[in-house]
Amino acid sequence: MAKKTVLVTGGAAGIGAGICLRFAEAGYNVAVFDIDAEGALRMAANLAAHGEALALTGDVANEQQVMAAIEAAMAKFGYLDTLVNNAGIEVSGTVADLAADQWDRQIAVNLRGTYLMSKYAIAKMSNGGAIVNISSVHAFVSWAGCAAYDATKSGLIGLTRAMALDHGGQGIRVNAICPGYIDTPLMDRWLATLPDREETMGQLLAVHPVGRIGTPRDVAEAALFLASEAASFISGTSLVVDGGMTTAGH
């Protein structure tokens, strides 16, 4: 495989870190973009054993910082083949109790961030490329108190379809991945807030037909597939990676 370059947002930890590592193992140059500067540097250093990596710091909702990150990746590697829009946050609350600034921040990171990153990456994909948007099963099913998060993850599905239609003629494929419960530091922090962590984990395992929750590697393998030539006729689709949870009605 000819050397390719991927830029991963939110690449310092969790699902993003898993994606960075898997692409590096597959021979890609990797640009790790994260609001956590130290985390991005650590991740890039960890990838050095596999090849070239670059740490980029910024907020995906900030247009100037996005433009700077794209230009830095181009200056380092000379080209950009793949963008993985993974950066995201979750703000809990109903529309009745969410503050307007909380709603705006959720939209800014999860939707505006994907729009900005894609806008400036597409301009550099002169030879075509692939964009993978990390959505969620929340695009299709909802839990109480997730109004803003559900809205953004559903919005990403519509944005994925629109981008696939608009930019297919440029040789750019756009797809989404919808993970379910994934074992990440974010999930650990959530479990730590509950009265009985073990009981909750048992309940989660019971609603997964495959008998386990997901790992960042599970999502990373899906992202690598969608970015690869093996998926050259796949665009505008949403791939659910949830161990059968939503199929089982959960």
Instruction: Summarize pLDDT for 52-94 with one digit per residue, the tens.
Output: 999 999 999 999 999 999 999 999 999 999 999 999 998 989 9
135 neighbors 177 (Cβ within 8 angstroms) = yes
Question: Residue 148: inside a domain, yes or no?
Answer: yes
The CATH number covering residue 135 comes to: 3.40.50.720
The whole-angstrom separation of Cα 52 and Cα 24 is 8
Q: Is residue 125 part of a domain?
A: yes
What end-to-end distance do the CA atoms of the chain give, in Å? 40
193 in a structural domain: no
Within 10 Å of residue 47's Cβ, how many Cβ atoms? Answer: 24
192 belongs to a structural domain: no
For residue 147, give the 3-state DSSP assignment. Answer: helix
**Inside any domain, residue 27:** yes
Mean pLDDT in residue range 145-154: 95
Flag whether 117 is in a domain. yes
Could you give the CA distance from residue 186 to residue 179 in angstroms, rounded to a whole number?
14
Q: What pLDDT is stored for residue 190 in this prediction?
A: 67
Of 57, 48, 52, which is closest to residue 11 (Cα–Cα)?
57
User: Mind telling me the catalytic residues?
Assistant: 149
Region of poorest pLDDT, from 16-30, 150-164, 177-191? 177-191
* pLDDT for position 2: 63
Using the predicted structure, report yes or no on whether residue 197 has a pLDDT greater than 90.
no
Q: Is 85 within the bounds of a domain?
A: yes
The boundaries of the domain holding residue 123 are 5-182+215-241
Q: Where are the beta strands (DSSP E) in 116-243?
A: 129-134, 172-179, 238-241
pLDDT number for residue 88 = 95
Q: Please report, for residues 106, 146, 240, the alpha-carbon distance to residue 98 in angstroms, rounded to integers and kept in the order given.
A: 11, 10, 28
Number of domains in the chain: 1
Give the pTM. Answer: 0.95
How many whole angstroms separate alpha carbon 56 and alpha carbon 36? 9
Give the Cα-Cα-Cα angle 197, 200, 205 (nearest 5 degrees). Answer: 125
Dump pLDDT digits (tens) for 152-185: 999 999 999 999 999 999 999 999 999 998 988 7
| Helical pair 100-107 and 147-167, crossing angle rounded to 10 deg | 30
Domain assignment of residue 69, yes or no: yes
